[in-house]
Amino acid sequence: MKKIGIYIFVIFVNTTFAQIGGTKVFRFLDLQIPARSAALGGATNAIWDDDVNLSYNNPALLNPSMTRQLAFNYVNYVADLNYGNFMYAQQIKKHFTFGAGLQYFNYGKFDGRDDYDEKTGTFKAADYSLNLSIAKPLNADSTLSIGATLKTIYSHYESYYSLGSAVDVGLTYHNKNNLTITLLAKNYGKQWRTYSGTGDKEKLPSDFQIGISKKVAKAPFRLIALYDQLLKWDLTYVNPQDQNSNIDPFTNKPIVKTKKEIRNDKFRNGLDKFGRHIVIGTEIVLSKNFNIRVAYNFKTGKEMALPDKKSASGLSVGFGLKIYKFHLNYGFSKYALTGNAHTFGITTNFNYFSKK
């Protein structure tokens, strides 16, 4: 017998990860899981460093300095929801770096009920993605590198489950002046099985990005910028609850605008559409073992804003701290008044424990 709780849960999942009108599947792939990424609003696809967490957003950032690093990130979201990932990197042969990771989203337990509202027990729901990555330099001085990640996706909600696969492909340039530029294609793939086993297959949350970062010479900070959804210009959506701004609320007649007002509206709309693609951030290096991160995601700020209340939606902050043989990371993401996320990460390198 169909369980009412399943339908309630499916509605919840769709509204958690997608704005109004969202129709894509496996939206948990969009989450910014590593604490460093969460603190920088997701703008970590163009940072060349020795941190294995960077390869989560861009496989082309995998490099030999990440060898034998193990990382774990965890987010206690809201209610019983939590998500995170594990990551490991290893250099193989001379020019290749291999990475493996497991990403998960745990929705907790739900009460199952039949058509007569009688309790039938409890069930769990979760999403998983097994990620295998590989990267290599393309030139002799290793300033240009390419990488790819193969994702095997499994999602189950009670007796319903879905399977899919996706790939990320990145191309990264970096030089001795600490300039890094990245082109990245994310989550291009296919849903192989729908949750019911029948019906049309849904699209994955694919994305094409360009990112840039620059460590300023003789200054203790790095500037970071990300342009998201390069292939789709208009990321706005129509909220059916919004009133029509072209109708006078007193006369209920159309508002006639001058040519100057029309030009100004077009300029503001164009600026709004452009801004929704942008994430900007910085890393401030206060010492060898401690840094602070701050970023702002304009799209999140727009989508989560409330008309009658001011908030810092879209803002994210965090820090990185090295203690003994462990790197600790924290990221705070401001989504809404009651929907914020605290991300905790810990990274170590097995080379620290090897006998010399």
Range of the domain at 91: 4-243+279-353
User: What would the mean pLDDT of 214-226 be, rounded to a whole number?
Assistant: 92
> Tokens for 96?
């290749």
Work out the average pLDDT over 184-210.
Answer: 94
Contacting residues for 352 by C-beta, under 8 A, at least 6 apart: 325
Q: Is residue 236 part of a domain?
A: yes
Does residue 209 lie within any of the structural domains?
A: yes
30 part of a folded domain? yes
Q: Is 211 part of a structural domain of the chain?
A: yes
Please report the pLDDT score of residue 22 as a whole number: 56
pLDDT of amino acid 6:
41
Give the integer Cα–Cα distance in Å for 301 and 321: 28
Residue 265 lies in a domain: no
As a whole number of angstroms, the distance between CA 39 and CA 332 comes to: 6
* Residue among 298, 293, 296 at smallest CA distance from 271: 298
Would you say residue 312 lies in a domain? yes
Query: From CA 57, how far away is CA 135, in angstroms rounded?
Result: 13
pLDDT of residue 1: 38
Tell me how many domains the chain contains. Answer: 1
| Average pLDDT for 335-345 | 82
Percentage of residues of the chain with pLDDT beyond 70: 87
Give a yes or no: residue 264 inside a domain: no
Predicted pLDDT at 253: 67
What digits encode the pLDDT tens for the residues 170-188? 999 999 999 999 999 999 9
pLDDT on residue 13: 47
pLDDT per position as a tens digit, 263-300: 888 888 899 999 999 999 999 999 989 999 999 999 98
Residue 240 banded pLDDT, cuts 50, 70, 90: low
- Give the per-residue pLDDT at 122: 86
Tell me whether residue 253 is in a domain: no
Q: CATH code at 308?
A: 2.40.160.60
Going through the chain in order, the beta strands assigned E by DSSP cover 69-76, 82-92, 96-113, 119-137, 144-157, 160-174, 179-193, 207-215, 221-227, 278-287, 290-297, 315-323, 326-333, 341-349
- What pLDDT sits at residue 81? 87
How many contiguous H segments (helices) and E segments (strands) does the chain have? 4, 14
pLDDT at 311: 74
Cα distance between residue 193 and residue 127, in whole Å: 14
Which pLDDT does position 18 carry in this prediction? 41
Least confident segment among 3-17, 77-91, 223-237: 3-17
